[in-house]
Amino acid sequence: MILSGGKKHHVSASRRQANSRMRLSMAPMIDVVFLLLVFFLVASNFRSREGFLPVELPQQVVHSEIIELEPLILHLESQPDGTCLVQIGKTDSFVIQPQELGQDFSPLAQRFAAVLDQQGRSRDDPVKIVPSRQTKWDHVVKAYDALWQLDLHNIIFTIVE
Amino acid sequence: MKKRHFISRFHSEAQFNMTAMIDVVFLLIIFFMLICQFIGQENYRLLIPDNCAGAIIPNQADDGKITVSVFPTFSDRPKSSTGEVDFSELSVRYAIRSHIFDPFSEIYVNQPDRLLTDMARQITLQSRRRSNPLVYLRADRDLSYYQVQQALLALAEAGVTRLELAAFRSAQSDDGENRNYLRGQQ
């Protein structure tokens, strides 16, 4: 009886020991998880979600085609004080102030739409953006965006020397 | 005997369980590989134009797109007396994906025409001989049109007609004054 009781005691103790050995050690796992998370957070270079404005560049054979309608020319010239001097066609030029630059080129869009109506041009007619050599890229893109929002998609960029 | 048995038990319990750790490491690596878009090589930290309400937000990343970046080569933006950034006299770099072109390097200073040719050739190589690749142009908003025009001319020489100009729809608060936006690219 004593022997058998001793065997039972021994078996239950080994089971307990086996059960205790089978426990999943969570501490190192959590350590590794947090280390990896910190590593990726530090090593990652997050970038804001960017949009795009579609542009159709002319093909190289375009110079041989006959352009039927003279494009409406939009002159852009950035000034040292941050303003942008704008001239639509042969109309009087006007200045877009920096606070307006921070918002959008809506004054340009309004005036451009008025000139289009005045000259009886349609939205499919060509428009040529003529920046100066020192015009900021920011101003060029904002002007393009203003025209794009007017449903003007036939827009050409000029080459400056 | 008892003491020896205790020591051996102690040693076996003190072993580091590597299996679970390796499982977790691989799971996390797979997780990040699935959710991340690997654009590190072409993620030059430049300030693209913002406040363009007409900008289209893409639904998903297009892997076939070729990113062309135009960015200034210094970490501080010099400002004129009026507080405006003056880039007129400063240098610029061009990157087609991870290939950087420096127009002020000796080879291009001696042969200025070669810059456009090399950039156009690189665009053709990156497009993997596709006839009309889509190009995503990321140009810094404070650069001049003339500086960005070099990239446009290279694109035209490579026969690219489909172009996307990078722009934010809304205003961005970061004005770049205290931003190390060319980290690791100097």
What φ, ψ does residue A80 adopt, rounded to 5°? Answer: -60, -25
A57·B163 Cβ contact <8 A: yes
> pLDDT tens for residues A119-149?
888 888 999 999 998 899 999 999 999 999 9
Among all residues of chain A, which has the CA nearest to that of B153? A159
Comparing CA positions, the residue from A133, A134, A158 lying closest to residue A144 is A158
Q: What is the arithmetic mean of pLDDT over A84-101?
A: 81
Comparing CA positions, the residue from B177, B182, B166, B179 lying closest to residue B50 is B166
pLDDT at A1 over 50: no
Chain A residue numbers with beta carbons less than 8 Å from the beta carbon of B153 are 159
What does each C-alpha distance from B80 to A76, A79, A80, A81 come to in angstroms? 20, 12, 8, 9
Give the angle subtended at the CA of A63 by the CAs of A57 and A67, to the nearest 5°.
90
Chain B residue numbers with beta carbons less than 8 Å from the beta carbon of A148 are 54
B86·A80 Cβ contact <8 A: yes
Residue B60 token pair: 């998903």
Question: What does pTM read for this prediction?
Answer: 0.72
What φ, ψ does residue B112 adopt, rounded to 5°? Answer: -60, -35
| Residue A63 three-state SS | helix
Residue B101 token pair: 């072109």
Residue A93 binned pLDDT confidence (cut-offs 50, 70, 90): confident
Q: What whole-number distance in Å separates Cα of residue A88 and Cα of residue A62?
A: 24
pLDDT at B15 over 80: no
Residue A161 binned pLDDT confidence (cut-offs 50, 70, 90): confident
Chain A residue numbers with beta carbons less than 8 Å from the beta carbon of B144 are 78, 133-137
Helices (H) and strands (E) in chain A, counts: 5, 6
Q: What is the pLDDT of residue B181?
A: 42
Task: Please tell me the distance in Å from B142's CA to the nearest CA on chain A.
Answer: 6
Helix B113-126 and helix B145-157, axial crossing angle in degrees, nearest 10: 60
Q: What whole-number distance in Å separates Cα of residue A117 and Cα of residue A72?
A: 12
Residue A160 token pair: 């400056």
Residue A25 binned pLDDT confidence (cut-offs 50, 70, 90): confident
Of A99-113, B48-62, B64-78, B172-186, the range with the lowest mean pLDDT is: B172-186
Partner-chain residue, chosen from B82, B142, B155, that has the shortest CB–CB distance to A57: B155
Chain A (142-161) residues lying within 8 Å, Cβ to Cβ, of chain B: 142, 144-146, 148-149, 157, 159-160
* ipTM (interface pTM): 0.72
Residue B73 binned pLDDT confidence (cut-offs 50, 70, 90): confident
pLDDT at B69 over 80: yes
Partner-chain residue, chosen from B49, B82, B149, that has the shortest CB–CB distance to A138: B49
Strand order in the sheet with B162-167: A51-56, B162-167, B134-139, B66-72, B92-96, B99-101
Q: What is the pLDDT of residue B76?
A: 55
Q: What whole-number distance in Å separates Cα of residue A74 and Cα of residue A85?
A: 10
Report which residue type is found at B77.
Answer: R
Residue A21 token pair: 């050995």
| B164 or B87, which is more confident | B164
Q: What is the pLDDT of residue B34?
A: 72
A56·B162 Cβ contact <8 A: yes
> pLDDT tens for residues A35-48?
877 887 777 766 67
Give yes or no for a contact between A158 and A128, defined as CB atoms under 8 angstroms apart.
yes
Helices (H) and strands (E) in chain B, counts: 5, 5
**A122 has a chain B CB within 8 A of its CB:** no
Q: What is the pLDDT of residue B185?
A: 39
Nearby residues of B33 by Cβ (< 8 Å), 6 or more positions away: none
Backbone CA torsion sign across A38, A40, A46, A52: negative
